[in-house]
């Protein structure tokens, strides 16, 4: 790693001349949040791999999403040594979807590759994505062939999420495909044209379409640091995805209401017939309490689902920007 950082300045100078050549520029866009332990590992592994991709220039665009550790300081240090590394510092922690949006909006490349700082997605796969792009594809998905690095709970919850989302949504998202992918400048401009502020990027990637290919790979374990996604955050992320691309959760309560009403009518008719035949009896308290609690619970669930959509309308109606940038850091490339 020390050799890598020691040679950054000379590498930057040597690439300035090649930057004049009309080669496609690849933007590797990476959100960072409290990843100071990962930064040395990240650049030591990623930069040499990008340098080996033939006939491609590259930049690494790092978005600091309000980190509270030394992530920003270390990113700035790298950017001052290597002109191919740029840093965008957000004013606070806006969340991964907002940071990824900022990275895509700020990317200058002809090709854009969203990437995670934890190195669970092997950077060696990027060359395979580029090869698929050379075949004429506008989007190349990196699909996880297996999830051995994930816990059993995460595997099952991911499976359930993809199944539910793709059943209720008009635009299915590919299973076991995260943000890691390659897409062209045309796709990037389409993503930038979408006006919503509550952005579920996996769904937006699928919504814009374009000619798509798939590359499979095996995900690795995190090289250092800890994951920033808790079970609660993943649950909220799943709700965001489902409500962003489907109104079925709203419509289903119409059918629930009709079903409950029909059951009530049938029950009322049965009670009338029973009373005419057998006379009046006194129903039990337990059955009455159960019915009240059941109907009350159904109503509250329906109100909760309605609240999810009303909340999204409320947030969108404010028209706030998805993110705010405090400062941009980059080292100007020396003239040849």
For 136-148, b where at least 16 C-beta lie within 10 A, e where not — what string?
A: ebbbbbbebeeee
Question: What are the structure tokens assigned to 69, written together?
Answer: 């550790």
Looking at the predicted structure, is the pLDDT value of residue 65 above 70?
yes
Looking at the predicted structure, is the pLDDT value of residue 26 above 60?
yes
Cα–Cα nearest to 99, from 45, 60, 61: 61
Is 238 a domain residue? no
The mean-pLDDT minimum among 23-32, 249-258, 280-289 falls in 280-289
Does 270 lie in the same domain as 138?
Answer: no
Q: What is the pLDDT of residue 14?
A: 44
Greater confidence (48 vs 288) lies with: 48
Q: What is the pLDDT of residue 28?
A: 92
Looking at the predicted structure, is the pLDDT value of residue 17 above 50?
no
Does 157 lie in the same domain as 288?
Answer: no
CA 11 to CA 22: how far, in whole Å? 19
Which residues 6+ apart lie within 8 Å of 237 measured at CB? Answer: 229
Domain that holds residue 310: 248-318
CA 52 to CA 227: how far, in whole Å? 29
Q: What is the pLDDT of residue 213?
A: 87
CA 54 to CA 157: how far, in whole Å? 39
Cite the beta strand spans of 169-259 per DSSP E.
177-184, 212-218
Is 242 a domain residue? no
Does 313 lie in the same domain as 164?
Answer: no
Q: What is the pLDDT of residue 195?
A: 79
Is 240 a domain residue? no
CATH number at residue 103: 3.90.550.10
Tracing tokens 């709700």 back to the chain, one arrives at 239
Residue 327's beta-bridge partner residues?
Answer: 89
Cα–Cα nearest to 129, from 2, 223, 27: 27
Does 302 lie in the same domain as 325?
Answer: no
Tracing tokens 């001052």 back to the chain, one arrives at 80
Q: What is the pLDDT of residue 36?
A: 82
CA 100 to CA 65: how far, in whole Å? 9
Does 262 lie in the same domain as 210?
Answer: no
Does 270 lie in the same domain as 170?
Answer: no
The model carries a pTM of 0.65
**Cα–Cα distance list, 274 to 81, 262, 284, 290, 293 (Å):** 87, 18, 16, 21, 25
Greater confidence (202 vs 142) lies with: 142
Does 89 lie in the same domain as 134?
Answer: yes
CA 116 to CA 303: how far, in whole Å? 37
Looking at the predicted structure, is the pLDDT value of residue 328 above 50?
yes
Is 234 a domain residue? no
Helices marked H in 34-175 — which ranges?
Answer: 39-51, 71-81, 96-106, 125-134, 152-168
Looking at the predicted structure, is the pLDDT value of residue 115 above 80?
yes
Is 233 a domain residue? no
Does 134 lie in the same domain as 46?
Answer: yes
Greater confidence (162 vs 235) lies with: 162
For the chain, percent of residues with pLDDT exceeding 90: 4
Q: What is the pLDDT of residue 335?
A: 44
Does 202 lie in the same domain as 277?
Answer: no
Rounded to the nearest integer, the mean pLDDT of the chain is 75
Task: Say how many residues make up the chain.
Answer: 336
CA 30 to CA 58: how far, in whole Å? 13
Q: What is the pLDDT of residue 96?
A: 82
Q: What is the pLDDT of residue 55?
A: 86
Looking at the predicted structure, is the pLDDT value of residue 91 above 50?
yes
pLDDT band at 289 (very low <50, low <70, confident <90, very high): low
Looking at the predicted structure, is the pLDDT value of residue 210 above 50?
yes
The whole-number average pLDDT for the span 204-225 is 77
Tracing tokens 């989302």 back to the chain, one arrives at 165
Does 156 lie in the same domain as 102?
Answer: yes
Does 124 lie in the same domain as 100?
Answer: yes
Q: What is the pLDDT of residue 287?
A: 61
Kind of pairing between the strands at 177-184 and 139-146: antiparallel
Q: What is the pLDDT of residue 237?
A: 56
Q: What is the pLDDT of residue 61?
A: 92
Is 180 a domain residue? yes
Is 50 a domain residue? yes
Question: What are the structure tokens assigned to 201, written together?
Answer: 């990027």
Q: What is the pLDDT of residue 243?
A: 58
3-state secondary structure of 67: coil
Does 201 lie in the same domain as 78?
Answer: yes
Each residue's pLDDT tens digit, 227-259: 555 555 555 555 565 556 666 666 666 666 767
3-state secondary structure of 27: strand
The whole-number average pLDDT for the span 72-82 is 87
Element (H, E) at 85: strand 85-90
Asked if residues 246 and 169 have their Cβ atoms less than 8 Å apart, the reply is: yes
Per the structure, how many domains does the chain have? 2
Is 232 a domain residue? no
Each residue's pLDDT tens digit, 2-11: 555 555 544 4
């Amino acid at each position: 790693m020390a050799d890598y950082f020691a040679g950054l300045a000379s590498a930057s100078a040597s690439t300035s001349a090649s930057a004049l050549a009309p080669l496609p520029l690849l933007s590797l866009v990476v959100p960072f949040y409290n990843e100071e332990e990962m930064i040395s590992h990240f650049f030591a592994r990623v930069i040499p791999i990008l340098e080996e991709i033939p006939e491609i220039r590259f930049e690494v665009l790092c978005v600091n999403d309000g980190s509270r550790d030394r992530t920003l300081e270390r990113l700035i240090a790298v950017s001052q040594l290597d002109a191919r590394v740029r840093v965008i510092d957000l004013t606070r922690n806006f969340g991964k979807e907002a940071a990824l949006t900022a990275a895509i909006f700020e990317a200058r490349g002809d090709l854009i590759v969203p990437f995670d700082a934890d190195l669970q997605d092997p950077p060696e796969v990027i060359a395979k994505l580029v090869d698929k792009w050379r075949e004429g594809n506008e989007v190349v998905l990196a699909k996880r062939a297996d999830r051995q690095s994930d816990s059993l709970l995460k595997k099952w919850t991911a499976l359930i999420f993809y199944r539910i989302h793709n059943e209720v949504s008009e635009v299915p998202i590919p299973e076991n495909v995260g943000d890691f992918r390659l897409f062209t400048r045309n796709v990037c401009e389409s993503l930038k044209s979408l006006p919503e502020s509550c952005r579920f990027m996996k769904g937006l990637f699928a919504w814009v379409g374009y000619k798509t290919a798939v590359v499979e790979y095996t995900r690795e374990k995190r090289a250092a640091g800890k994951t920033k996604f808790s079970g609660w955050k993943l649950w909220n992320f799943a709700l965001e995805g489902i409500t962003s691309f489907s109104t079925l959760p709203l419509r289903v309560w119409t059918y629930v209401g009709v079903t409950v009403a029909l059951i009530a009518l049938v029950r009322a008719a049965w009670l009338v017939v029973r009373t005419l035949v057998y006379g009046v009896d006194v129903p039990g308290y337990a059955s009455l309490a159960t019915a009240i609690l059941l109907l009350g619970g159904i109503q509250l669930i329906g109100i909760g689902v309605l609240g999810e959509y009303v909340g999204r309308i409320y947030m969108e109606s404010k028209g706030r920007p998805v993110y705010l940038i405090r400062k941009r850091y980059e080292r100007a490339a020396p003239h040849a």
